């Protein structure tokens, strides 16, 4: 078996650490999303500027808003002032990009972001989602400048994590022994009326107005439009605010031809460290203004000041720009519209900025607590990187929140549109982050699925149509999505323990399983047959374990739920079918891995047959996630997982012939979707078979770890993240069929596997079973009621800390730890604890159960 | 004065050498145009593939034609065969580019060019326009593969240099000691019906047909369309041919869904080294086929075979896709159309390929002779690079040949359209390459200017409207264009010595000058006044030497032509105005350089006033080019040229604030258009003042060299070429307002300055005055009748060789050489020669004049 050590040492795979800092060429592809859940975002570039204005209710890759950048002016005593755009230098190529008139390729470097003005000499881009930190270096400057950029992101608090705001804290450190006068000028174009994609200038502009606002808490420019009606999807407001009190502003840059406006701004600011006040009223038809907000400070020797910029937006009306509305072909008739959930929280962008400022301590504190709790883990750097970076999908335009707060996801993003609508059940099967960080949002996905997307016969339309209540999509059910949904209900109920919620969904779950029987297991022998549409956008035909393992997992999950709800008859039936299926499914094991039993029809395309499919045990992976253990022969499962790594993992792709889409190539590492180690590759195997998908890699990595192949799993994760090194691809954008692809939210399952965490809320039980030797081992945990950190040591102790929310605990499972007696202390007070030995480690019974509140730690000490 | 030596040593600036080879990152931006003059082109990428399909009568940057690439299969004895796409590996970023549905950013590496299939491990891209050479390396291959790619380009032969063909010679070298079986498969998509921009697939396709053709000389695939009518601008043919006799072919790839076609091709070819014959007839509506032509060979140990691919195209009808036709707003009415000149030479693409094959020796030989003659010079590598690389503009979509053969130029290219129509007289003022390599084409530009673009009052509309004979453009005359035209007539007549031609144009030239008097010198004091529209797209007001030096040069040129034509009255008048002007103009000299006398009007924008303008002596430069010597005080001129270098040359741009377009930045070198070393920069100086334009840099570099500041001039050239290093920008695309910008054809003037060549055909005189110490010094020369090489040595000899055409010589000027007697020998036969000492060097009188024919050398030996 080819091991990861041919490429990386065990130490490189396992060493705890922090996510990478990016410098030089590695900053080129960086775009770090700033915005809330369901608000769209604007991205911080590797230079430290802003790009990809996806705040207008749709993706908008590559967009650069005119003249929107920060500049810093510094003067020391009698010296000449020095002025810099607070961005690193533009990087090659310098020819310009894209096809357009008088810009793009053949017209030179993009100038609208300030690239022609003196930049900082270099940048180092660090931090981890949700907080980015850009360190600027310039030998000519007497100050060191660092930008901390973030938007609130606090587990279990989706509303505060859904603020349409980007917070930019510029920290300026006086490195001289004399006081310095500094001014930070942040300029922003008023784009209101913008249709969401295409050029920022044009006929959509006019009657744009930038007005000065000061409510005592925040001050700056309030941007509005008089041209667009409030119910128009292009309507909205923006705000460029600060809580800093020493300010200056210019509502409107010079209105002139050619390059006059930027010329005038720079000449004034670089000379005087200020720009004269100018307010000209609404703009002419087709025109808009840039406005500048300036922050002034004297900085004493050695002192650091933090100059905060708040960039808020508010585009209340979402228009469904894809597909058709019911009875409409999208042309000449009204498209469906609804209000963004966030628009029900705040009236306009200025109110958003005010809310942020009023709650800054909580919002910043909660966000930083999450970031620090996650990073304090003893997990390897590349794993932490995978966890945190992919959580950024929640701040990307891949996700929406509908008017009632329901969470909705595309699969990913086209350049200027969502890519593949409808919270697609099979792609979102892989995603775990939302369930663990924002479980109420994940439950809203379940509710939407079962209440809006299931036909009376149980057929789940796997793409939810908007607005909610629209006619369902008329297509096959997706076998993986239909069956995965049952496992997801089980997971979400276990995390929250809300029986009422489960009871509401239960009849729908029963229907879903009955539909599966009708379609794919009419004889209820537990073996999947028939035509199975799935996440590869084709139909598998005949028994296979990709769908089959989902089926067995779903049967087991349904059995557990039925038992809990007292539906013993159904529980027994599900168990019976499962048992039959488990045995029959083993016939697909070829001695090394599980294959597909394909009908012998040469006209049948797009199967995998005797191939070694990376997803062949996805249902087993999910079963581990939800504590169902092995649903197939453990030895076979382990053999198959080894086979997947052995046959599908590539340490390079030089000799790999891939006529399909290219997500890994040349000298990169990655896991193929499939291979045919024993020959008999079909003439036309399933259509993505030669590709590499991050989401499947995370699924397999997590599962490898569950099965004990820790280094193999870590190698897969390291390979993914090495492909997203800032030069090859954006670390904060793992794409598949489009950017910010939801399948990568499977990365959270690597944390679950490495920590072995299980939250069984109905039974007040939480357990850990770390797979790494670090001592003490530390990790992040979360349930639907609270989150925090966990640590345990081979010296015989464990600590569970609640950072926010609370945790009601009756049993604490401690993998890898043993003892004869246990002492449990909650914030200095002993609690009653009984130790019970388990197969691996032990379990601490706490009776009566305790509630650990925010800031409290439960410490358990074992003695032999 | 800041000298270039702070950056580059004198040796680095002057050392003879060859243009660079590009490897690694430096291949990323490379796109080397293949095509003829006025045929459009397709570009060879730094990977060795094809991109930018600009053969469809308009630019088309970034376009990738589906599945169009070469693959090589190699088998040694009983070994497994090895197959490679004959391209280097795709380079980062790997996210995909551009905004599109299911492709572009967020969808991974472009796959249509074969990037997902095993590539060659690395490439080195070398050669010099017109012949590129790509060396592929792959440790896994038993052969070394080199691609020589070119299109015929032979000075003085515009028709043979105007073939719509790309020739790709794949040289395969067996590096083993056993015979090897190889197969080269070149695949090409049939795009016929393509509208010239946008996606290659779509509704424009249908009834596309690939048919096998073998006429004994060439064989391969003839591509046609049955859907598009022959007079439609989208109509055309393509041909994928070879002169190789051992071939196989597949007219149509598998017609299947998803990725079936490429899958099928690769599976067959990589297994068998062949693809089965398949011809399916015309395609369905909306569909087209890829076809493959294969070449087979057995290669003996150590042997090299050259496998030639001829890719020809024929799109006869040019439709004016910009602006309006007369009386038409471009919508709902017919746009003007005409036939490309090349379409009058050949019936279709197959005939082009046949013509090439039938004349291959002459076409290849002439092209290689040009390349070798140019490169055999002792000029520095970066100068040769500037000369050859920018000649590629003639094979780019910047130039057209109209139905009657008239040469026409845009300024440059938008991504998918010409950028700024009409052989713009002021931009093309700078261009020198065409005049020296294809003088008949340059004269056709003059004829179009004076016969189609001059109003009765002498006003030259500076943008020629198409089709010829259309109403003239209604705008200011451009002062620089109007006056430069007179110098260009003088230059072109001197190069050809055709008095009849001069006489035809002379009345028009007189009119042009009279119009200039009326507009800009009503009192004929020789000083430019009034409103002067110019190449900066604004109007200068008041006396200045940018327009003024053009004026003085034009007066002198007109005087010379008048004298020659016996119009002594006019000659005297022109001289008189010139003399007055020369003296008065010196009042603009500020002791260091020449300034503009600006009216004192604060509302007047976009002037340069006291600035040091790089173009301030452009007319003096042109006067040197055409042998008029100094038209202003030589000391002042030299001081001003030093000032330009001193004030405007930048060894980096870190502190340069440029609110305009960005053509040089960060750590690059370049020459600003203007600076204000003495302060008083206008609040809004002329709009491009902070920019860096290659064409102006070449003009200044050449002029610096003429004035004796050789290292400074060479530094400017080296700076330009360092900015086009294959990583920052494409070496074969110096852009300004668009790609392949015509102003860069000023690069040829660097050769003229360094060699000091002057061709005075009316007086049968050719002279050289090298500015470099290389001994022997060698350079390329050309006149309107012939071209070849020149060498001279300080040891007292000189040789002029005619490579093609002939040269009638009465006097040979030898700069830097001295002697008391001279002996001249033409191909071993002594000719009568008299030596006459001159200011710098000497002159050899040959009486009677001789004709040096192709292949002959005249050698002159001096003795003291």
Virtual torsion, Cα B588, B594, B599, B604, nearest 10 deg: 170
Query: What pLDDT score does A334 carry?
Result: 81
Query: What pLDDT score does B573 carry?
Result: 98
Establish if A684 touches chain B: CB-CB under 8 angstroms.
Answer: yes
Task: Name the residue among B405, B564, B428 with its Cα closest to residue B498.
Answer: B564
Establish if A294 touches chain B: CB-CB under 8 angstroms.
Answer: no
- Residue appearing with tokens 């094979």: B395
Residues in chain B within 8 Å Cβ distance of A728: 92-94
CB spacing of A665 vs B116 below 8 angstroms = yes
Q: What is the mean pLDDT of residues A754-782?
A: 96
Query: What pLDDT score does B1 carry?
Result: 46
CB spacing of A729 vs B105 below 8 angstroms = no
Distance from CA of B740 to the nearest CA of A (A): 8
Query: What pLDDT score does A508 carry?
Result: 98
Query: What pLDDT score does A602 carry?
Result: 86
Residues A105, A63 contacting (CB under 8 angstroms): no
Classify each residue of B721-759 as buried b or exposed e, where b means 16 or more C-beta atoms within 10 Å of its C-beta: bbbbbbbbbbbbbbbbbbbbbbbbbbbbbbbbbbbbbbb
pLDDT tens digit sequence for A122-139: 999 999 999 999 999 999
Residues in chain B within 8 Å Cβ distance of A28: 93
pLDDT tens digit sequence for A773-810: 889 999 999 999 999 999 999 999 999 999 999 999 99
Q: Cα(A466)–Cα(A449) distance, rounded to whole angstroms?
A: 12
Which candidate in A415, A604, A669, A676 is best for mutational testing of the B interface (most B CBs within 10 A)? A415
Residue of B nearest to A94 (CA): B728
Query: What pLDDT score does A839 carry?
Result: 87
Query: What was the ipTM of the complex prediction?
Result: 0.95
Considering chain A, what percentage of its residues have pLDDT values greater than 70? 98
Distance of alpha carbon B292 from the chain centroid: 32
DSSP secondary structure letter of residue A855: T
**Nearest CB to B111 within list A259, A662, A683:** A662
Task: Name the residue among A676, A566, A700 with its Cα closest to residue A610.
Answer: A676
Q: What is the mean pLDDT of residues A596-602?
A: 92
Residue of A nearest to B118 (CA): A655
pLDDT over 50 at A330, yes or no: no
pLDDT tens digit sequence for A244-282: 999 999 999 999 999 999 999 999 999 999 999 999 999
Considering chain A, what percentage of its residues have pLDDT values greater than 90? 96
Residues 567-626 of B with CB under 8 A from A: 605-606
Three-state SS letters, A76-120: ECCCCCEEEECCCCCCCCCCCCCECCCCECCCCECCCCCCCCCEC
Residues of chain B with pLDDT under 70: 1-5, 324-333
Token digits for A813?
Answer: 């499972």
For residue B487, the surrounding DSSP H or E stretch is helix B479-496
Residues in chain A within 8 Å Cβ distance of B267: 683
- Model confidence, pTM: 0.97
Residues B376, B774 contacting (CB under 8 angstroms): no
Virtual torsion, Cα A678, A680, A681, A684, nearest 10 deg: -170
Q: What is the mean pLDDT of residues A663-690?
A: 97
pLDDT over 60 at A331, yes or no: no
Residue of A nearest to B689 (CA): A259
Query: What pLDDT score does A4 carry?
Result: 66
Residue of B nearest to A88 (CA): B666
Residues B551, B521 contacting (CB under 8 angstroms): yes
Indicate the pLDDT class of residue A1, thresholds 50, 70 and 90.
very low
Query: What pLDDT score does B136 carry?
Result: 98
Beta B399-401 vs B407-409: how paired, if at all?
Answer: antiparallel
Query: What pLDDT score does A720 carry?
Result: 98
Residue of B nearest to A104 (CA): B415
Most confident by average pLDDT, A10-24, A142-156, A315-329: A142-156
Three-state SS letters, B594-617: ECCCCCCCCCCCCCCCCCEECCCC
- Residue appearing with tokens 């996905």: A445
Establish if A102 touches chain B: CB-CB under 8 angstroms.
Answer: yes
Establish if A323 touches chain B: CB-CB under 8 angstroms.
Answer: no
Virtual torsion, Cα A775, A780, A786, A792, nearest 10 deg: -10
Classify each residue of B365-389 as buried b or exposed e, where b means 16 or more C-beta atoms within 10 Å of its C-beta: ebbebbbebbbbbbbbbbbbbbbbb
Q: Cα(B68)–Cα(B49) distance, rounded to whole angstroms?
A: 8
């Amino acid at each position: 078996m080819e091991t990861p050590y041919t490429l990386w040492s065990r130490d490189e795979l396992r060493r705890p650490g922090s996510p990478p800092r990016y410098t030089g060429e590695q900053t080129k592809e960086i775009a770090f999303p700033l915005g809330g859940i369901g608000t769209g975002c604007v991205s911080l570039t590797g230079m430290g500027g802003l790009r990809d204005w996806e705040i207008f209710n749709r993706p908008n890759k590559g967009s650069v808003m005119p003249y929107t950048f920060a500049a810093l002016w510094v003067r020391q005593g009698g010296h000449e002032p020095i002025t810099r755009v607070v961005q690193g230098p533009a990087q090659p190529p310098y020819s310009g990009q894209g096809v357009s008139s008088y810009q793009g390729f053949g017209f030179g470097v993009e100038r609208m972001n300030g690239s022609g003005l003196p930049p900082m000499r270099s940048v180092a881009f660090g931090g981890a989602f949700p907080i980015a930190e850009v360190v600027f270096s310039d030998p000519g400057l007497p100050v060191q400048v660092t930008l901390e950029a973030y938007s609130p992101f606090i587990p279990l608090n989706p509303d505060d994590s859904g603020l349409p705001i980007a917070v930019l804290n510029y920290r300026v450190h006086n490195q001289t022994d004399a006081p310095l006068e500094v001014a930070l000028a942040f300029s922003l174009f008023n784009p209101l009326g913008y249709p969401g994609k295409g050029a920022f200038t044009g006929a959509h502009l006019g009657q744009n107005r930038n007005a000065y606002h000061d409510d005592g808490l925040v001050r700056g420019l309030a941007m509005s439009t008089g041209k667009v009606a409030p119910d128009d999807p292009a309507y909205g407001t923006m705000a460029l605010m600060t809580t800093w009190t020493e300010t200056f502003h210019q509502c409107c840059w010079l209105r002139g031809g050619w390059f006059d406006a930027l010329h005038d701004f720079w000449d004034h600011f670089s000379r005087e460290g200020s720009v004269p006040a100018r307010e000209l009223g609404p703009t002419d038809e087709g025109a808009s203004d840039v406005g500048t907000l300036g922050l002034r400070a004297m900085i004493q020797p050695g002192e650091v000041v933090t100059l905060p910029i708040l960039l808020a937006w508010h585009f209340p009306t979402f228009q469904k720009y894809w597909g058709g509305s019911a009875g409409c072909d999208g042309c000449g008739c009204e498209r469906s519209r609804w209000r963004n959930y966030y628009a029900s929280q705040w009236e306009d962008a200025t109110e958003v900025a005010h809310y942020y400022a009023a709650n800054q301590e909580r919002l910043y504190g909660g966000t930083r607590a999450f970031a620090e709790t996650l990073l304090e883990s003893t997990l390897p750097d590349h794993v932490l990187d995978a966890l945190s970076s992919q959580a950024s999908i929640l701040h990307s335009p891949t996700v929406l929140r509908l008017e009632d707060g329901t969470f909705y996801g595309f699969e990913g993003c086209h350049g200027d549109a969502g890519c593949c609508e409808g919270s697609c059940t099979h792609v979102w099967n892989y995603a775990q982050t939302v369930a663990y960080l924002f479980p109420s949002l994940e439950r809203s996905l379940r509710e939407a699925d079962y209440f809006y997307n299931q036909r009376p016969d149980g057929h789940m339309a796997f793409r939810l149509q908007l607005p909610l209540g629209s006619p369902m999509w008329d297509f096959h059910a997706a076998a993986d999505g239909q069956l995965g949904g049952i496992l997801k209900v089980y997971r979400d109920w276990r995390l929250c323990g809300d029986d009422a919620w489960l009871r509401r969904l239960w009849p729908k779950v029963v229907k879903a399983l009955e539909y599966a029987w009708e379609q794919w297991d009419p004889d209820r022998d537990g073996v999947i047959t028939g035509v199975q549409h799935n996440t590869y956008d084709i139909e598998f035909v005949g028994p296979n374990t990709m769908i089959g393992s989902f089926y067995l997992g779903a049967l087991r999950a349904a059995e557990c739920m039925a038992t809990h709800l007292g539906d013993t008859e159904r529980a027994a039936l599900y168990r019976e079918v499962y048992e039959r299926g488990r045995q029959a499914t083993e016939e697909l094991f070829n001695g090394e891995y599980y294959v597909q039993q394909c009908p012998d029809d040469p006209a049948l395309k797009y199967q995998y047959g005797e191939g070694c499919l990376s997803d062949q045990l996805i249902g087993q992976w999910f079963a581990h996630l939800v504590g169902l253990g092995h649903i197939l022969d453990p030895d076979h499962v382990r053999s198959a997982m080894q086979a997947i790594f052995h046959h599908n993992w590539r340490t390079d792709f030089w000799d790999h012939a891939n006529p399909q889409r290219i997500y890994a190539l040349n000298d990169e590492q990655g896991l193929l979707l499939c291979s045919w180690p024993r020959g008999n590759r079909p003439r036309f195997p399933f259509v993505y078979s030669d590709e590499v998908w991050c989401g499947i890699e995370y699924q397999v990595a997590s599962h490898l770890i569950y099965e004990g192949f820790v280094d193999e799993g870590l190698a897969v994760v390291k390979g993914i993240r090495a492909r997203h090194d800032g030069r090859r691809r954006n670390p904060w954008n793992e794409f598949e069929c489009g950017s910010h692809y939801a399948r990568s939210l499977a990365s959270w399952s690597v944390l679950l596997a490495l920590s072995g965490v299980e939250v069984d809320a109905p039974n007040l039980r939480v357990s850990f079973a770390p797979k790494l030797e670090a001592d003490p081992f530390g990790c992040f945990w979360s349930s639907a009621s609270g989150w925090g950190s966990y640590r345990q040591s081979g010296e015989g102790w464990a600590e569970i800390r609640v950072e926010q929310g609370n945790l009601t605990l009756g049993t604490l499972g401690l993998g890898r730890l043993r003892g004869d007696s246990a002492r449990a202390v909650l914030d200095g007070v002993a609690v009653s604890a009984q130790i019970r030995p388990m197969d691996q480690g032990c379990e601490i019974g706490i009776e009566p159960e305790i509630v650990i509140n925010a800031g409290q730690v439960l410490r358990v000490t074992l003695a032999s």
